Amino acid sequence: MPKVLICGTINWDTKLFVERLPIAGQEIRVVRVASEPGGKGANTAVAAAKILGNNSVAIIGMLGVDDIADRQLRILQDQGVDTTLILESDKLLSGQAIVIVDKNGENLILTYQAANLAFNPEFIESSKVLSAIEESSMVIVIDPH
């Protein structure tokens, strides 16, 4: 079991690049779109795995049962993160964020927490997670909701 456990959100980020941020009711043309994995928990786990090495870091979190979850799991595993402590909710979509960024780098972030909100104490109290916590050297909780 990995020595570092990261507990936090896992989202799929869609970034919309615009000349300027819109005001309420205003339509703004999007210049470019970028889609990538995100969420503070997932981002922290990937960064820690890059420093500490493959499978030295696990993430505790929630995903839905959808194509975002499939992509997220594959990407996290490819980045060296242990994903065995990710629970999947069959009732909710995976978390998503829409980030609108203007030419000066100012942004608006809209977050759909979805499966991230299904994370509950019963999951943490499961024997699998408790065992992982006991065997770890460090547990980092970041942005659980």
The string of DSSP letters for 86-134 reads EEEESSSPPEEEEEEE-TTS-EEEEEE-GGGGG--HHHHTSHHHHHHHH
Q: Strand, helix or coil at 74?
A: helix
- Residue 139's DSSP bridge partners are 5
pLDDT at 145: 58
> Where does the pLDDT of residue 95 fall: very low under 50, low under 70, confident under 90, or very high at 90 and above?
very high
With 0-12 / 13-18 / 19 or more C-beta atoms within 10 angstroms meaning exposed / middle / buried, residue 106 is exposed
pLDDT at 122: 86
pLDDT at 144: 57
Percent with pLDDT over 70 in the chain: 99
Which domains are seen in the chain, by residue range? 4-142 (3.40.1190.20)
pLDDT, tens digit, for every residue of 5-57?
A: 999 999 999 999 999 999 999 999 999 999 999 999 999 999 999 999 999 99
